Amino acid sequence: MLIGANVSLSGDKMLLGAAEQAHTYGASTLQAYIGAPQNTRRKPIEAMRIDEGLAAMAEWQLSHLVIHAPYIINLGNTKKPENFEFAVQFMRAEVNRADAVHAYTMPFHPGAHVGAGAQAGIEQVIKGLNQVIQPDQNVTIALETMAGKGTELGRTFEELAQILDGVQHNDKVMVTLDTCHINDAGYPVVDDFDGVLNTFDHMIGLDKLAVVHLNDSKNPQGSHKDRHANIGFGTIGFEVLNRIAHHPALPAIPKILETPFVGTTKPQHPPYGIEINWLKTQQFVPAELEALMD
């Protein structure tokens, strides 16, 4: 099982530090942001300790490095056309950085239409991706399923399929399936995940699924909230998420945890070593995490 978590690619150690974190969690894969997702400040590629990081990943049998695109990019915004060119150029540079660290795929929030309507937003995302994607890039861009809060795009498989169909270099575009997001978007993750996966296969195709974000949800199905919960502490529950982690149709798909840090005082504690162990052993021991929450 390819199981991992979101780790930090920052400080002096950069990719080496991210690999070290993932290894301490008992992970077999990992996800990181190249820089803070809320801003565009980035270190030069030569400062990212790529060779050391890749060597450590090989030593610890960490594969399928996932680099998440920043939230600050909104290719779906037609209301501020003056920002479009910057968004395209920054996203293209982020793809180049992801290629430099040998990333497998790049989850990407499609953006929001900010009141212009879903169709206008989708067409703008397609326009942007067709300018961002280069035929010689290695990393794929994995459009993420969204919860549908506000004017978010990508809250249905149909919207994602429309974007995929409009991208010229279609082989460079994949999909990220987030369990919290699709639950909050209204898909019956708890009662019929096999049916959800079948719908995804018919609308998009399982061959387009690059990564699963394995998150519990603090909210009920269809809430359109997007608030992640720790594994087994939300409305989806450990049994369902464990079944998804071990699903026979998804053995080669990396599963990435993006669950909240825990604790009432700072610094809070990462839950990933505990949650990954639960999923590897298929044994849910809530007291192990509850001890860190006090």
109 is an annotated ligand-binding site residue = yes
Q: Which of 291, 286, 283, 241 is nearest to 264 (CA)?
A: 291
269 is an annotated ligand-binding site residue = no
20 is an annotated ligand-binding site residue = no
288 is an annotated ligand-binding site residue = no
258 is an annotated ligand-binding site residue = yes
| Cα angle: 174, vertex 206, 77; to 5 degrees | 35
**H or E stretch including 278?**
helix 272-281
Token pair for residue 160?
């994602």
The amino acid at residue 209 is: L
Give the C-alpha separation, 49 to 34, whole Å: 12
Give the C-alpha separation, 284 to 3, whole Å: 16
- Sequence-distant (≥ 6) Cβ neighbours of residue 5 within 8 angstroms: 22, 25, 27, 30, 31, 256, 257, 258, 259, 270, 272, 275, 276
102 is an annotated ligand-binding site residue = no
Chain centre distance of CA 16: 21
What residue has token string 């890749």? 54
Helix runs in 48-166, H state only: 50-59, 84-100, 118-132, 157-166
94 is an annotated ligand-binding site residue = no
Give the C-alpha separation, 188 to 198, whole Å: 12
Give the annotated binding-site residues for Zn(2+): 68, 109, 144, 178, 181, 213, 226, 228, 258
Give the annotated binding-site residues: 68, 109, 144, 178, 181, 213, 226, 228, 258
